[in-house]
Structure 1
Amino acid sequence: MKRRSLILATVAALATAPMAHAQSGGTMAQVKESGELRIGVASAEPWFYKDPMSEEWTGVGVAMGKRMADELGVEMVPVETSWANAVAGLQANQFDIMFVLDPTEERKNALAFPGNPLFYYAMGALVKEGSEATNWDDLDTPETRVGVTLGTSLDRNITEMMDEAQINRFSTNDEAIAAFAAGRVDAVVQFHPALVVQYARLKMGEVLLPEPVNPVATSAGMRQEDSTEFLNWVNATFADLYAAGIPDELFDEYLASKGIDATGIPGLIKEDW
């Protein structure tokens, strides 16, 4: 029995050795060994969109993941999650990176973020047509019902900014927009690129950039680990892609795929605003 147990233990150790080696070497070693770059995806246009018929994922975040996977010579694999579960999913090694994840102080305590931004956007609101609101204080009234996506940086921002408004939290951007269309909320707060897509689809309300309008840098979250190889590579890659205007290029391509003219729409490169 001892001999048999020893043999089984040896076989088990050999079977798990490659993954253990990859994990001990960090995310980059794991990606190269598996031949896959797993990206977290959560329903939120224009970053991530799952076609209900083909179940194929597209969007700016998906295109960015594909571009970076190609640079590594590996396959990009989307792994479905939610914004609220993104941090836990990364920590549990369910996926390797999640794009368009803002580096809030809370997330920095749990994840690693590159120093260079992925791109920039601004907080906006979809409001009822004819609204006289021009700044965030105009929306912070007891009778105003504001919709926001649970677990996002916007959820945190609105909670900190608004003392009077009724804040309604939804699992996805689409659920928040559906509530607006049904008249269950008076405004939906999302970043301006998402609102552009939502408005083009909904054809109701008005997109407002309440003052003050501040560029918000978004990023990508990764696991905290001893090896910095993957983090350093992502950081350098982000700098190169931003300098080349790639975020705007991917954004325009996605808008075009939805039949939306990108002319006059603020892009993702803040220097061009």
Structure 2
Amino acid sequence: MNISSIVSRRSIVRIAAALVSIGALSTHGVVRADSGTTWQKVKSEGVLRCGAAVSPPYVIRDPKTQSYGGAFADLCRGFAQKLNVKAEFVDSTWPNLIAGLQSKKWDMALSLSDTPEREKAVSFSAPVTESSVTFAYNKNNPKFKSAPTSLTDLNRPDVTLAVMAGSVADKAIGDNLPKATIMRLPGADEARLALLSRRADVLADDIATNMLVTAAHPDSIVAFKPEPALAALPANFGVNKEIPVADLAVLNQYIAEQKQSGAVDRMMKQAVQQTLDAAK
């Protein structure tokens, strides 16, 4: 047998192997859950570890039981059930979510927005829901003689904005409001309390979170949504950058199923109500 025949046969074998791999992903539109190493490792350990930083209504922590709720926590449990393992929530903060993925302290990070900067460090699932940054403020604050209509109205040294350190909102206001005074706090609760206690004039946060604040305090707190939307980004699961394409497809398929069935919308509504009830 000559060399060209050997090369030809090897090429055929490689092509056949590639086709088999593709077929494992796409046969009847179903992705095999055991096609990659990430979920195989999760299955062997029996635990899906989810890094969680509190951000209602996406990620909620019950102050009495310390258990996690919210749409992303519910999805984590559902995906763990799909893999036939137990969901385990690992406490984190926003600045540490990415580092935890890189060091493999957890398998997924909850409610992490996909940005070009973050894509250099980690990978992301398909979008679960859409988000943008809005601004909640006390309508009786004398600093706002009229309601803000643009970011320029907030870009003043005498205006203090509370924000979760390391969040998308933190970067957005840092880039767009250089003259404002920024109070960076470790979590959503601390940032919200800064507004309610009037230590801060404005709360910069995700649109859903600020909807909760205004709903809980309708007599005093209102929200301003810039146009065009500021930091309009999807909310996703973050995963380690080494995740195989096939494994990411398994997660994305699960998300698509939950969105199509209406489960994500129901989870969000339940999370909003749960957060409001807890605030009473």
2:130 to 116, 120, 131: 120
Aligned positions of 1:11-90 closer than 5 A: 26-90=37-101
Q: Deviations over 1:2-36 (max 9, x none)?
A: xxxxxxxxxxxxxxxxxxxxxxx632111111121
Distance between the aligned counterparts of 1:218 and 1:122, measured in 2?
9
Distance between the aligned counterparts of 2:152 and 2:264, measured in 1?
31
Residue 257 of structure 1 and its aligned partner are, at CA, apart by 2.9
Residue 231 of structure 1 and its aligned partner are, at CA, apart by 1.4
The one-letter code matched in structure 2 to 1:80 is D
The one-letter code matched in structure 1 to 2:273 is A
Aligned positions of 1:197-236 closer than 5 A: 197-202=212-217, 204-213=220-229, 215-225=232-242, 227-236=244-253
The TM-score normalised by the length of structure 2 is 0.78
Residue 226 of structure 1 and its aligned partner are, at CA, apart by 5.9
2:189 to 171, 174, 177: 174
List gaps (5 residues or longer) in structure 2: 1-35
Distance between the aligned counterparts of 2:228 and 2:57, measured in 1?
24
Highest CA radius of gyration, 1 or 2? 2
Q: Report if the CA contact (8 A) 1:136-1:211 is conserved.
A: no
SS of residue matched to 2:205: strand
Distance between the aligned counterparts of 1:259 and 1:159, measured in 2?
29
Aligned positions of 1:101-140 closer than 5 A: 101-114=112-125, 116-130=126-140, 131=144, 132-140=147-155
Q: Report if the CA contact (8 A) 1:124-1:207 is conserved.
A: yes
Q: Report if the CA contact (8 A) 2:71-2:271 is conserved.
A: yes
The one-letter code matched in structure 2 to 1:126 is A
Q: Deviations over 1:58-115 (max 9, x none)?
A: 111111111211222221111111110001111111110012101122211111113x
Q: 1:202 to 1:42 in 2, by over 3 A?
A: farther
Residue 259 of structure 1 and its aligned partner are, at CA, apart by 5.1
**Equivalent residue, structure 2, for 1:268:** none
SS of residue matched to 1:249: helix
**Equivalent residue, structure 2, for 1:152:** 167
Residue 247 of structure 1 and its aligned partner are, at CA, apart by 2.2
Q: Between Structure 1 and Structure 2, how many residues are aligned?
A: 235
**Equivalent residue, structure 1, for 2:13:** none
Distance between the aligned counterparts of 1:94 and 1:167, measured in 2?
30
**Equivalent residue, structure 2, for 1:22:** none
Distance between the aligned counterparts of 1:248 and 1:133, measured in 2?
30
Q: Deviations over 1:161-184 (max 9, x none)?
A: 112111111100111111112222
SS of residue matched to 2:242: coil
The one-letter code matched in structure 2 to 1:242 is K
Residue 216 of structure 1 and its aligned partner are, at CA, apart by 2.2
Q: CA RMSD in A?
A: 1.9
How much identity, in percent, do the aligned residues show? 25
Question: Greater shift after overlay, 54-63 or 208-217?
Answer: 208-217
Q: Deviations over 1:182-206 (max 9, x none)?
A: 2221101111111122334455321
User: Is residue 2:276 matched to residue 1:255?
Assistant: no
Distance between the aligned counterparts of 1:105 and 1:241, measured in 2?
26
The TM-score normalised by the length of structure 1 is 0.80
Q: 1:136 to 1:44 in 2, by over 3 A?
A: same
Q: Report if the CA contact (8 A) 1:26-1:225 is conserved.
A: no
Q: 1:256 to 1:184 in 2, by over 3 A?
A: closer
The one-letter code matched in structure 2 to 1:164 is K
